[in-house]
Amino acid sequence: MKNNFGNIRIADYTYDLPLERIAKYPLPERDRSKLLVWNGSNISDNIFSELPALVDSTCLMVFNNTRVIRARLIFRKESGAVIEVFCLEPHSPAEFSLNLASGGAVEWKCLVGNLKRWKHGILESPFIHDGRECILTAERTGTAGDAFTVRFNWNESTLSFAEVLECLGHMPIPPYLDRDDEESDISAYQTTYARINGSVAAPTAGLHFTPSVLAGLDAAGIERAEVTLHVSAGTFRPVKSELICDHLMHSEHFLVSKQTLERLRGRKITAVGTTTVRTLESLYWLGMSLFEGRWPDDGIPTVSQWEPYEKEGEIDPAVAIDCLLAELERSGRDTLEARTDIIIVPGYRFRMVSSMVTNFHQPHSTLLLLVAAFAGESWRKIYDHALVSDYRFLSYGDSMLITLRS
């Protein structure tokens, strides 16, 4: 079954994106961005502040509450060489909250820029906290796939690693913006409802929401729930292989509370962003794993890249959620923790999500494939309309509200 989906050619799911259509900065007012609405057959042009009147009032709207950390660290050697260390995800402690709360040495999986100038030795970078000069050190300790493990230490144990990053780190704005991060990105590249530290890229559909829009949703009787998926740098990785089966999908860590699981059961769901879609659809396959008795005895469960395409059996989404709730009850936990490597491509059948808010994504990207899976061949019509109607593209650009194709 995998082969039928894996033989999709990425060349069939791309489009021409002029550089001038990439929004390098957000609009001064988040909710004044454009919102394209596709209801399964027709397109309309709107302003994002109008969203509360455009969403199905019976739906549960689900948000990703992850918070972007200042994951880019710059070190300057005595020789003048500049080394950039991009923190991808915790290595030790491996749990995000424990690692970021640590007041002692931590290790992260990292990408290293200008690697040839850092073959060995310890890097240092001074920073100021509460008027005192502190020093962060970095030492390479090994490899992790195409990344490196780096141990960080600092000489002020009252500071957590999260606070060190706040003092010293740079916001990891997307590489396609082709500019350095600026002071304005600290707030602009963060959703207004971000709460849980861990992402190295923003869940960009959420960047359009303001307190006013959220209040409008509440006033319209639209219920809201949250999940946490820590967005990895892999979200920017273009598909370079000719066939999708040769692309290795990035893995991401997520958490869903028992309360949210209970609220998802039997509901029509509008997902805010592809990261939320990825989380919600992964819940179905985790529930299927439990139903089939395939839950791991130790470690956190993971949805593999092609798992949805290798299964022939089906269960109702409510049954999948019930299985997850039963597992939480059995284990005495209040939060489900898991990883997902899932890739959603044209032909995938959505089990959890019926509509979504999302930005306009890069050509040759897995995010564009997800939109094509959701909208069917109409994705071309949607993108063509956005291109001729002066929509702004990618992370700081405009967005759309689309309904699952029937």
Per-residue pLDDT of 333-371, as tens digits, reads 999 999 999 999 999 999 999 999 999 999 999 999 999
User: For 37-46, what is the mean pLDDT?
Assistant: 96
Distance CA 222, CA 53 (A): 10
User: For 186-193, what is the mean pLDDT?
Assistant: 98
Residue whose entry in the numeric block shows the structure tokens 């602009």: 188
Q: Which domains does the chain have, with CATH numbers?
A: 2-67+188-403 (3.40.1780.10), 71-170 (no CATH)
Note if the pTM is more than 0.75: yes
* CA-based radius of gyration for the chain: 21
Distance CA 339, CA 100 (A): 19
pLDDT for 78 = 87
pLDDT tens digits along 56-91: 999 999 999 999 999 999 999 988 899 999 999 999
pLDDT tens digits along 272-317: 999 999 999 999 999 999 999 999 988 899 999 999 999 877 999 9
pLDDT for 11 = 93
Residue 406 has pLDDT above 70, yes or no: no
Distance CA 109, CA 107 (A): 7
pLDDT for 53 = 97
